[in-house]
């Protein structure tokens, strides 16, 4: 039997403790499936004395994750600290420089520094595996880099942040406003330390940038993505969408266009009867379309100790078996610079306007929309008691540029009292 594969784990939070637990519980199973023993030799975290629910007494302790990454008795550096720079990035670079493979759940670090790290890994004959960085327990990275490697991928889309999906479905099912559900999610520990990473779409955007890089053979391009969060979604938006047979999801879409790579993370209306529309709670879903496979749908838990630790250990098992592929599925030197593109593909839009209730207001709104290339498919004004009249409009298909021009024009008028909300209606 081959020599043991020795892990050094930096970061002993929920996921790190989960990884330790799997190694301890499934020693014989891992050996049977990989052909070698998987062991932990050393760990690192900010607090040595904290009770993490697992026994760490058999492992060496390093206060400095960089020192852990450089230990001679560590073969694979498992980075579970998080953060796009700082200790996580320093330790990852140190591990690669020391000739070690890296397994990480750090989507932010890879979205911002993935190309440099991939080049560094390949120069050292090593690799970076990051299944746990995207969609928790769903094996979407493996699907793209291995199972679908013979496909020309045309589109990747999905719901990739369980917190946002929890908030939106909780609002709908309980009839609660956004602020109340946000506070509930925070109390349950669902939100990042900086909540804007979740509700602002940034966390999901990091994930989409990694999927796009693999799918289209480009360098990760987080800066080229259009990102909009869910902060402006109201319970009224959710109810009106439901009335029309839709549900609101924070949806990521990446696709190749004739001008480059389009990447967008934004709230959209999707058909309630579709797989994405039926997604509840913290579950994630990724839809992949390829020229040979057509369309596949991957669904599963997007976060949590078990699912994410499972993804980490899936990468560890591949390394134990000797499976080592380029970080983004092909040599880093072959990855192209991503040319950001904005799709001209027309779509219908849902518009929520808060208007001054006076004669001529609706006519003025219709004129502005028409002047900017948007025609009204249906419109409804809801009962109100104040001078502010809520109006819902669904447009016929229009380009994103036409929508933006119309929104800018509406905001300059004195009849639109608050910035309008516009949501794309995404047909699957």
Q: Which of 67, 92, 7, 85 is nearest to 42 (CA)?
A: 7
Q: Which two tokens stand for residue 100?
A: 């070690």
Distance CA 242, CA 173 (A): 11
Question: Which letter does DSSP use for residue 16 in this model?
Answer: H
Residue 60 phi, psi (nearest 5): -65, 150
Helix (H) or strand (E) holding 97: helix 87-97
Q: Which of 330, 302, 55 is nearest to 165 (CA)?
A: 302
| Per-residue CA distances from 143 to 86, 181, 347 (Å) | 30, 34, 29
Going through 160-245 in order, the beta strands assigned E by DSSP cover 226-227
Single out the catalytic residue among 93, 107, 207, 249: 207
Distance CA 315, CA 132 (A): 9
207 is catalytic: yes
Exposed e or buried b per residue across 200-217, where buried means at least 16 C-beta atoms within 10 angstroms of its C-beta: bbbbbbbbbbbbbbbbbb
Q: How many residues does the chain have?
A: 428
Scanning the structure block, which residue is given the tokens 């109006």?
391
Could you give the count of Cα atoms lying within 13 Å of 129 in the half-sphere of its Cβ?
25
Compute how many other C-beta atoms are within 10 angstroms of the C-beta atom of residue 31.
15
Q: Which two tokens stand for residue 203?
A: 């966390």
CB within 8 Å of 194: residues ≥ 6 apart: none
Distance CA 149, CA 162 (A): 27
Distance CA 201, CA 30 (A): 36
Q: Which two tokens stand for residue 337?
A: 């610079």
The residues that bridge with 422 in the sheet, in sequence order, are 351
Active-site residue list: 207
């Amino acid at each position: 039997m081959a020599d043991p594969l020795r892990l050094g784990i930096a970061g002993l939070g929920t996921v790190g403790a989960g990884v330790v637990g799997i190694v301890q519980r499934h020693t014989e199973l891992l050996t049977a499936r990989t052909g070698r023993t998987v062991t932990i030799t050393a760990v690192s975290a900010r607090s040595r004395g904290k009770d993490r629910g697992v026994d760490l007494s058999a492992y060496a302790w390093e206060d400095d994750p960089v020192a852990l990454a450089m230990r001679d008795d560590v073969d694979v550096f498992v980075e579970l600290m998080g953060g796009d720079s700082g200790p996580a990035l320093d330790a990852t670079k140190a591990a690669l420089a020391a000739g070690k493979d890296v397994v990480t759940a750090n989507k932010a670090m890879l979205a911002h520094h993935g190309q440099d790290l991939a080049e560094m890994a390949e120069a050292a004959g090593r690799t970076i595996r990051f299944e746990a960085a995207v969609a928790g327990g769903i094996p979407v990275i493996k699907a793209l880099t291995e199972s679908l490697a013979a496909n020309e991928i045309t589109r990747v889309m999905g719901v990739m942040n369980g917190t946002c999906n929890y908030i939106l479905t909780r609002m709908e099912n309980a009839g609660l406003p956004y602020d109340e559900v946000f506070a509930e999610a925070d109390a349950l520990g669902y939100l990042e330390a900086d909540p804007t990473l979740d509700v602002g779409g940034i966390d999901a955007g990091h994930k989409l940038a990694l999927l796009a890089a693999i799918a289209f053979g480009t360098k990760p391009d987080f800066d080229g993505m259009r990102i909009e969060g869910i902060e402006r979604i109201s319970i009224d938006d959710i109810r009106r969408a439901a009335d029309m047979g839709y549900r609101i999801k924070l949806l990521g879409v990446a696709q190749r266009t004739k001008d480059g790579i389009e990447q967008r993370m934004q709230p959209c209306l999707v058909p309630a009867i579709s797989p994405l529309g039926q997604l509840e709670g913290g579950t994630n879903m990724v839809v992949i379309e390829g020229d040979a496979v057509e369309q596949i749908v991957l669904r599963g838990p997007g976060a949590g100790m078990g699912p994410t630790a499972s993804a980490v250990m899936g990468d560890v098992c591949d390394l134990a078996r000797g499976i080592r592929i380029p970080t983004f599925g092909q040599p880093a030197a072959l990855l192209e610079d991503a040319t950001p593109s904005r799709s001209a593909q027309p779509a219908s839009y849902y518009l929520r306007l808060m208007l001054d209730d006076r004669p001529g207001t609706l006519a003025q709104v219709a004129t502005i929309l028409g002047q900017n290339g948007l025609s009204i498919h249906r419109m409804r004004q809801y009962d109100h008691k104040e001078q502010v009249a809520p109006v819902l409009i669904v447009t016929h298909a229009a380009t994103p540029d036409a929508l933006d021009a119309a929104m800018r024009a509406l905001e300059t008028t004195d009849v639109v009292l608050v910035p309008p909300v516009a949501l794309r209606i995404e047909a699957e």
